[in-house]
Amino acid sequence: MSTPPLLTIEGLTKAYPGVVANDHVSFTIGTGEVHALLGENGAGKSTLVKMIYGLVKPDSGRMTLRGAPYEPAEPRAARADGIAMVFQHFSLFDALNVAENIALGMENPPPLRDLAARIREVSETYGLPLDPFRTVGDLSAGERQRVEIIRCLLQDPKLLIMDEPTSVLTPQEVQILFQTLRKLKSEGTSILYISHKLEEIRALCDHATILRLGKNVGECIPAETSARDMAELMVGTALKTPERGVREFGDVALDISGLSVPAPSAFGTALKNVHLTVRRGEILGIGGVAGNGQDELLSVMSGEVTCARDAVKFDGAPIGHMGPTARRALGVLTAPEERLGHAAAPDMSLTENALLTGSVREGLERNGFLKWGATRAFAEKIIQAFDVRTPGPDNAARSLSGGNLQKFVIGREVLQRPEVLVVNQPTWGVDAAAAASIRQALLDLAAGGAAVICISQDLDELMEISDNFAALNEGRLSAPRPTAELTVDEIGLMMGGAHGMEVAHV
Amino acid sequence: MDLSAINPVLLIASLMVAATPLLLAAIGELVVEKAGVLNLGVEGMMITGAIAGFAAAVESGSPLMGFVAAAGAGALLSLLFVVLSQIALANQVASGLALTLFGLGLSALMGQKYVGVKPPAMGRIDIPVLSDLPVLGRILFSHDIVLYFGIALTAVVWAVLKYSRIGLILRAVGENHEAAHALGYKVVKIRTLAILFGGACAGLGGAYISLIRVPQWTEGMTAGVGWIALALVVFASWKPWRALLGAYLFGGITVLQLNLQAAGVAIPVEYLAMSPYLITILVLVILSADKSNAPASLGRSFHASR
């Protein structure tokens, strides 16, 4: 390694009851180096960075920072040693303003007025403009991330840890973030970058450490390694990419025209004059940054929010006024984004959860009485067909890992033979192998003659499976365009560009 | 009917006295809820404070000692809530209700030999010149010290929540305890301190009833003031000055309707008796129409591993 080491990690081990999260992990981060940490969900990336940030104590192993032993007892100590972290799920307080949020992450914050001036100064320097007195609850996801980054930068960090920073950004915002990170690197700041977006890692990082099931399974120079090789190191087996057969498009199955719905809550988004049609056999991909109307659009299609009769049509018949059960009876099924609490009831068993959406189409009740035997068989069928890893259908939905529950939730709808299936973020937080199988299931469903709408923030996923692509931006839906003709730049523009970000004044 | 029997100066002076127990309990609960904890045990802590303060004042002969003991007793009882809700992670609603029932029973037991006893009187402050002013002197400058303490506490709580770092951390914990934990703040410790503060305030409020407002000891004498305090915090949108306004409004109408009853107004007593509740809630509902800003983590249990 050309640069002197900043942080050396040797044999770090952390076990939780029943699972070893990290098993003798070792690597070194150089000064001014962008180091990637790669791995599937559950590979132990989060536990590892929590140990570096002082949130979790390692069972054994050693860390050395600038040649001295480093054992942070709490985040405060880590921050004092120049380590800052941008969290995957932002650790922000919605009801507080930007300056207050930043003050909370600092050891000895200056008075609020001085702090506001410094926030303005630093945010301008790094091309991340921010108004210190805006309430965080009103900010977009990209702006919220700026708050987190500036909170870190104000502490003048030597090592910046970023956990999945780009999952909520448009491509243009990602470019601006990368410019900021490169500027930081040129100033000698080291960055530990966690992601499973391989192309980003190839574009940004100098060095990568790959974790699988808590173990360090390899290192590479991302720029010299293909994305496929890295993915296979992560998964441990050869990767199967979903195959899209040649499909014939049939008649229009779902037709939404001139749909406007007011925002359901203060932090929600109103849908404005949305038009879309999807034919049998077609997969329509809907992209956009989170919070631009995805949840609202899904709830209009599921029937959770009803609208004018003619605004939503299924096979030419108006269904806008129908609730979810009536739509399910017709074959319009949905799988929402939030797994725990929306798609599944966390404390109910998988059997009970199978019943909740399956009772209508699978005939799981008679005269108000439930057929538990048939329901259990249906749940077992889902578990088997979608390779859900669980001891059995009597386990609570909460006990499954995110990826496994996602497979269950998607499988539950797919196995009900939908005419139209609407999914929101079908592979969010799911590892590469499970994501591939979910995408394959969606493709197979379309090949069987169903119309599929896939709402997602993962552009690679939409490019991979959808025939047409449209983007949601502030509640408006762009005109759909064939995916094959689109470039990443065009998609970015459809998603609303960079939301007023500017390039860093390097 | 003889409305001229109502002396407006005395009316205002006595409404401030009537409002103070409510204000003290509400300010304490406001801080607790700002930290994200819903403690429904206010009534129990108040009545425990009422008897503990009463007993301590009678035994020591000093009303001030009584208030100190009341604050201590309220905090001590709230420690039970800390154990249940913060350490054992029990449901906060159930724990709070248990605390109220426990406090009511405990106070009845403690108070058996104090029924009919007269407590030592709390002196009023006497500021030369100011206290002798006509009208204003009687209304503003000749109360007991605890009443002023209640108003000062409102100001301090407001300023601390709005301007100080500890206030910011407290609000952050109530807003998003996971994020606060990730930033390295001790969520359980901060909440414990807030709950103890709330308990001490409720105890003070209870002792104010038994030592100054009434002053004597009868079983169940707080008569629902703790519940009004809980409602007041919500309707005041978690803002200290609005809680003060609501407490004074409630106290004012309580005193006024008693005066009207005495004056023989031709409105049935039952309507007069319910009027403080109705009017206070109505006014505060209108005031809180702007937007609800309940702390986002209110009532949710926190454990570091989740």
Per-residue pLDDT reduced to its tens digit, A291-330:
788 888 999 999 988 888 888 999 989 998 999 999 999 9
pLDDT level of residue B92 (50, 70, 90 thresholds): very high
Which of A203-212, A351-360, A481-490, B285-294 shows the lowest per-residue confidence on average (mean pLDDT)? B285-294
Contact B74, B206 (CB under 8 A): yes
pLDDT over 70, % of chain A: 93
Give the Cα-Cα-Cα angle A211, A213, A219 (nearest 5 degrees).
Answer: 20
Rounded to whole angstroms, how far apart are CA atoms B33 and B198?
Answer: 9
In degrees and rounded to multiples of 5, residue A12 shows phi and psi of -70, 130
Inter-chain contact A100–B168, Cβ cutoff 8 Å?
A: yes
Closest chain A C-alpha to B16 CA, distance in angstroms = 33
Say which residue, B12 or B135, is predicted with more confidence. B12
Helix (H, G, I), strand (E, B) or coil at A222: helix
Chain B residues touching A95 at Cβ < 8 A? 171, 175, 293, 295-296
Residues A220-231: tens digit of each pLDDT: 888 888 877 887
Res B1 pLDDT > 60: no
| Domains along the sequence of chain A with CATH | 5-235 (3.40.50.300), 252-494 (3.40.50.300)
Q: Is residue B130 part of a domain?
A: no
Phi-psi region of A37 (alpha: psi -120 to 50; beta: other; left: phi over 0): beta
Q: Is residue B179 part of a domain?
A: yes
Rounded to whole angstroms, how far apart are CA atoms A110 and A138?
Answer: 25
Rounded to whole angstroms, how far apart are CA atoms A268 and A355?
Answer: 30
CB contacts < 8 A (A, B): 49
- Strand A451-455 and strand A283-287: the pairing is parallel
Nearest to B239 by CA among B162, B133, B301, B185: B162
Chain B residues touching A98 at Cβ < 8 A? none
For residue B278, the tally of other CB atoms under 10 A from its CB is 11
Mean pLDDT (whole number) for A235-245: 68
Give the ranges where B7-91 is alpha helix by DSSP (H). 8-34, 42-60, 63-82
pTM, to two decimals: 0.72
Burial of A177 (0-12, 13-18, 19+ CB in 10 A): buried
Res A441 pLDDT > 70: yes
For residue A178, the tally of other CB atoms under 10 A from its CB is 17
Inter-chain contact B176–A104, Cβ cutoff 8 Å?
A: no
The residue of chain B with its CA nearest to that of A109 is: B165
In degrees and rounded to multiples of 5, residue A281 shows phi and psi of 85, -5
Residues A111-131: tens digit of each pLDDT: 888 899 988 888 888 877 888
Amino acid at B174: G
Mean pLDDT (whole number) for A81-99: 83
User: What does DSSP assign to residue B286?
Assistant: H
Q: Is residue B134 part of a domain?
A: no
- The token pair at A193 is 């970058």
Res A146 pLDDT > 50: yes
Residue B101 Cα distances to A238, B105, B114, B227, B231, angstroms: 64, 6, 20, 13, 18
Q: Is residue B296 part of a domain?
A: no
* pLDDT mean across residues, chain B: 88
ipTM above 0.90, yes or no: no
Task: Tell whether B173 is within 8 A of chain A (Cβ).
Answer: no
- The token pair at A438 is 């979910």
Res B18 pLDDT > 80: yes
Mean pLDDT (whole number) for B284-288: 76
In degrees and rounded to multiples of 5, residue B44 shows phi and psi of -65, -40
Mean pLDDT (whole number) for A479-497: 80
Mean pLDDT (whole number) for B105-113: 92
pLDDT for B174 equals: 93
Res B4 pLDDT > 90: no
Helix (H, G, I), strand (E, B) or coil at A224: helix
Residues paired with A7 in a beta bridge = A29, A65
Mean pLDDT (whole number) for A426-448: 84
Helix (H, G, I), strand (E, B) or coil at B91: coil
Helix (H) or strand (E) holding A353: helix A350-362
Which of A174-188, A239-253, B83-97 shows the lowest per-residue confidence on average (mean pLDDT)? A239-253
Amino acid at B42: V
Inter-chain contact A74–B184, Cβ cutoff 8 Å?
A: yes
Contact B189, B170 (CB under 8 A): no
Rounded to whole angstroms, how far apart are CA atoms B262 and B214?
Answer: 17
Q: Is residue B39 part of a domain?
A: yes
- Cβ-based neighbours of A480, under 8 Å, separated by 6 or more: A276, A284, A468, A469, A470
Rounded (10°) CA dihedral A478, A483, A487, A492: 30
pLDDT for A505 equals: 41
Q: In what order do the strands lie in the sheet with A252-261?
A: A271-279, A252-261, A312-314, A317-318
Residue with tokens 């299924």, as numbered in its chain = A314
Which domain covers residue B203, as residue numbers? 3-119+142-287
pLDDT over 90, % of chain A: 21
Mean pLDDT (whole number) for B31-56: 95
Polymer length in residues for chain A: 506
For residue B269, the tally of other CB atoms under 10 A from its CB is 11
Rounded to whole angstroms, how far apart are CA atoms A207 and A193?
Answer: 10
Res B154 pLDDT > 90: yes
Res A232 pLDDT > 70: yes
Say which residue, B289 or A251, is predicted with more confidence. A251
pLDDT for A501 equals: 42
Res A388 pLDDT > 80: yes
Contact A331, A420 (CB under 8 A): yes
Contact B46, B225 (CB under 8 A): yes
pLDDT level of residue B291 (50, 70, 90 thresholds): low
Q: Is residue B124 part of a domain?
A: no
Mean pLDDT (whole number) for A33-42: 82
Contact A423, A453 (CB under 8 A): yes
Inter-chain contact B183–A100, Cβ cutoff 8 Å?
A: no
Res B96 pLDDT > 90: yes
Burial profile A477-505: b = 16 or more Cβ within 10 angstroms, e = fewer: bbebeebeebeeeebbbbbbebbebeebe
Contact A190, A160 (CB under 8 A): yes
Res A497 pLDDT > 60: no
- The token pair at A436 is 């591939």
* pLDDT mean across residues, chain A: 84
Contact A14, A211 (CB under 8 A): no
Inter-chain contact A92–B176, Cβ cutoff 8 Å?
A: yes
Rounded to whole angstroms, how far apart are CA atoms A82 and A152?
Answer: 10
Nearest to B203 by CA among B63, B72, B29: B72
Contact A252, A278 (CB under 8 A): yes
For residue A457, the tally of other CB atoms under 10 A from its CB is 24
Res B69 pLDDT > 90: yes
pLDDT for B10 equals: 84
pLDDT for A42 equals: 67
Phi-psi region of A346 (alpha: psi -120 to 50; beta: other; left: phi over 0): alpha
Give the ranges where A137-170 is alpha helix by DSSP (H). 141-153
- The token pair at A124 is 């301008």
Burial profile A254-268: b = 16 or more Cβ within 10 angstroms, e = fewer: bbbeebebeeeeeeb
Rounded to whole angstroms, how far apart are CA atoms A339 and A425?
Answer: 10
Contact A470, A481 (CB under 8 A): yes
Rounded to whole angstroms, how far apart are CA atoms B203 and B237?
Answer: 23
Amino acid at A467: D
Contact A241, A435 (CB under 8 A): no
For residue B87, the tally of other CB atoms under 10 A from its CB is 10
Helix (H, G, I), strand (E, B) or coil at B117: coil
Task: Tell whether B234 is within 8 A of chain A (Cβ).
Answer: no
pLDDT for A245 equals: 67
Most confidently modeled range among A271-275, B69-73, B123-127, B266-270: B69-73
pLDDT for A414 equals: 92
Which of A54, A55, A104 faces B172 most closely, judged by CB atoms?
Answer: A104
- Strand A283-287 and strand A271-279: the pairing is unpaired
Contact A317, A309 (CB under 8 A): no
Nearest to A461 by CA among A233, A335, A285: A285
Inter-chain contact B171–A95, Cβ cutoff 8 Å?
A: yes
Contact B233, B42 (CB under 8 A): no
Give the number of domains in chain B: 1
Q: Is residue B233 part of a domain?
A: yes
Res A440 pLDDT > 50: yes
Res A210 pLDDT > 60: yes
Rounded to whole angstroms, how far apart are CA atoms A297 and A361?
Answer: 23
Helix (H, G, I), strand (E, B) or coil at A171: helix
pLDDT for B169 equals: 93
Inter-chain contact B172–A96, Cβ cutoff 8 Å?
A: yes
Chain A residues touching B293 at Cβ < 8 A? 95
For residue A156, the tally of other CB atoms under 10 A from its CB is 11
Nearest to A193 by CA among A215, A169, A222: A222
pLDDT for B75 equals: 96
Residue with tokens 């725990």, as numbered in its chain = A340
Mean pLDDT (whole number) for B53-70: 93
Most confidently modeled range among A4-18, A348-362, B269-283: A348-362
Rounded to whole angstroms, how far apart are CA atoms A176 and B134?
Answer: 70
Mean pLDDT (whole number) for A27-42: 85
- Cβ-based neighbours of B278, under 8 Å, separated by 6 or more: none
Query: For position B108, which CATH number holds?
Result: 1.10.3470.10
Residue with tokens 């403080």, as numbered in its chain = B276
Chain A residues touching B166 at Cβ < 8 A? none
Rounded to whole angstroms, how far apart are CA atoms A485 and B37?
Answer: 54
Rounded to whole angstroms, how far apart are CA atoms B94 and A29?
Answer: 50
pLDDT level of residue B191 (50, 70, 90 thresholds): very high
In degrees and rounded to multiples of 5, residue A475 shows phi and psi of 85, -5
Inter-chain contact A94–B295, Cβ cutoff 8 Å?
A: no
Chain B residues touching A105 at Cβ < 8 A? 183
Q: Is residue B302 part of a domain?
A: no
Residue with tokens 């459809």, as numbered in its chain = A494
Res A506 pLDDT > 70: no
Chain B residues touching A75 at Cβ < 8 A? 182-184
